[in-house]
């Protein structure tokens, strides 16, 4: 029997699909250090963000036949080394696109209307309703604003779809494509197709009121990029910690160049720096971009289908 370790968990539907196909699945968490001796008892490992599958673990697990990542990025897996050993890596790039894009706009709405600050401060025993009403009475609407998108893949396209639906101008940046045709579908099943061309990075930085980043990694936004942005820009990072330089971000918030920032990912997870967590102009979430029931269901189904196909079942 093929044994699978779902070390960071798997949705119930994915677990049921795998077990119905004849796999033995363990969802008992094994500590990272213990995996060096324990993983060789399994044929497959399924991870999300927490577990790392590096060269030393691959070398210590000669029985390993496949590595699966429940999510988009595979930077926590030495996938090229695994491939050189004949071990394929599977991920689920399409399953969580909507969930991540919706989280971006949840943050944008919250920052634009001061929801995260007023919600917290109004609860304080010494709060003044009238003072907070005045302090947070200058919110902004998103309709008519410009949305910049860095990385025009699946998640970037979903972000563009939401932005277009809100009546925003969309300026995507992607060195690998010239445009995308985005279909908007309404409840009455009416469909509208919109061609959205990409633009140079400097054009987007100069014009965007909101910026969201959807790339697998790298250090893309530093002091130089902040200097090119409009004053009062709001930006979001739900991709990888470090894509937006955290020191440069704090400096831009201090000057007012950036009016607010949304961070779902951080350098040094799971221990983000306190300056970010406590900053009144930063809206934070603990890496939950793909953490919706719908996304986890789709991830479970996709992983089960991939493994059944891999083993010819």
- Per residue in 36-51, pLDDT (tens digit) is 999 999 999 999 888 9
Sign of CA dihedral 243, 246, 247, 252: positive
User: What is the per-residue pLDDT across 140-173, written as a single tens digit (0 to 9) for each?
Assistant: 999 999 999 999 999 999 999 999 999 999 999 9
The answer to whether 307 and 17 are in contact (CB under 8 A) is no
| Confidence bin at 311 (pLDDT 50/70/90) | very high
Annotated active-site residue in 48, 240, 246, 302: 240
The answer to whether 155 and 214 are in contact (CB under 8 A) is yes
Annotated active-site residue in 48, 79, 107, 287: 287
Instruction: Write down how long the chain is.
Output: 313
The answer to whether 196 and 218 are in contact (CB under 8 A) is no
Per the listing, tokens 């706009």 go with: 105
**pLDDT score of 62 more than 90:** yes
Distance CA 185, CA 302 (A): 24
Confidence (pLDDT) at 186: 82
Closest CA relative to residue 53, chosen from 74, 84, 27: 74
User: What is the per-residue pLDDT across 267-296, written as a single tens digit (0 to 9) for each?
Assistant: 998 899 999 999 999 999 999 998 899 999
Closest CA relative to residue 102, chosen from 92, 91, 110, 93: 110
**pLDDT score of 187 more than 80:** no
User: What is the per-residue pLDDT across 67-87, written as a single tens digit (0 to 9) for each?
Assistant: 999 988 788 999 999 999 999
80 is catalytic: no
Look at domain 3-92+293-310 and name its CATH class. alpha beta
| Confidence bin at 226 (pLDDT 50/70/90) | very high
> At 217, is the secondary structure helix, strand, or coil?
coil
Distance CA 206, CA 156 (A): 19
Closest CA relative to residue 210, chosen from 170, 176, 239: 170
302 is catalytic: no
What does the domain layout of the chain look like in residue ranges?
Answer: 3-92+293-310, 97-284
Q: Are 3-92+293-310 and 97-284 equal in CATH topology? A: yes
Token readout for 222 is: 């530093």
Q: Where is 8: in which H helix or E strand? A: none
Token readout for 252 is: 């831009």
The answer to whether 89 and 83 are in contact (CB under 8 A) is yes
Cβ-proximal residues to 175 (8 Å cutoff; 6+ apart), any chain: none
Confidence (pLDDT) at 39: 96
What average pLDDT does range 163-190 have in this prediction? Answer: 93
Q: What is the CATH number of domain 97-284?
A: 3.40.50.720
Report the mean per-residue pLDDT for the chain. 94
79 is catalytic: no
| Long-range contact pairs involving 217-220 (C-beta distance under 8 Å, separation at least 24) | 217/73, 217/75, 217/242, 217/243, 218/242, 218/243, 219/243, 219/245, 220/150, 220/244
Annotated active-site residue in 183, 269, 275, 294: 269
**pLDDT score of 218 more than 90:** no
Confidence (pLDDT) at 93: 83
Distance CA 217, CA 240 (A): 6
Confidence (pLDDT) at 3: 97
- Strands 191-197 and 179-185, how do they pair? antiparallel
Instruction: List C-alpha distances in Å: 12 to 31, 70, 108, 143, 290.
Output: 22, 13, 32, 39, 16
| Confidence bin at 222 (pLDDT 50/70/90) | very high
**pLDDT score of 189 more than 80:** no
């Amino acid at each position: 029997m093929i044994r699978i370790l779902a070390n960071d968990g798997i949705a119930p539907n994915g677990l049921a699909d795998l077990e119905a196909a004849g796999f033995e699945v363990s969802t008992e968490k094994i500590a990272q250090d213990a995996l060096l001796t324990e993983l060789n008892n399994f044929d497959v490992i399924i991870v999300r963000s927490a577990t790392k599958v590096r060269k030393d673990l691959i070398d210590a697990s000669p029985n390993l036949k496949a590595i699966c990542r429940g999510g988009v990025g595979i930077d926590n897996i030495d996938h090229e080394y695994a491939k050189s050993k004949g071990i394929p890596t599977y991920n689920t790039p399409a399953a969580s696109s909507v969930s991540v894009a919706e989280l971006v706009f949840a943050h944008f709405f919250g920052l634009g209307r001061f929801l995260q600050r007023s919600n917290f401060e109004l609860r304080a025993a010494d709060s003044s309703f009238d003072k907070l009403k005045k302090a947070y009475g200058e919110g902004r609407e998103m309709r008519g604003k410009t949305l910049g998108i860095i990385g025009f893949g699946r998640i970037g396209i979903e972000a563009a779809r939401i932005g277009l639906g809100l009546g925003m101008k969309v300026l995507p940046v992607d060195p690998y494509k010239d445009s995308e045709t985005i279909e908007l579908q309404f409840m009455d099943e009416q469909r509208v197709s919109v061609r959205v061309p990409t633009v140079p990075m400097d054009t987007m930085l100069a014009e965007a009121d909101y910026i969201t980043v959807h790339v697998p990694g790298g250090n893309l936004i530093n002091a130089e990029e902040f200097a090119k942005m409009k004053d009062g820009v709001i930006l979001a990072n739900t991709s990888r910690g470090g894509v937006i330089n955290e020191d440069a971000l704090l400096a831009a918030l201090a000057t007012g160049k950036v009016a607010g920032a949304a961070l779902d990912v951080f350098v040094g997870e799971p221990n983000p720096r306190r300056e970010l967590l406590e900053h009144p102009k930063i809206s934070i979430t603990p890496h939950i971009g793909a953490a919706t029931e719908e996304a986890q269901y789709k991830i479970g189904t996709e992983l089960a289908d991939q493994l059944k196909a891999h083993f010819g079942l």
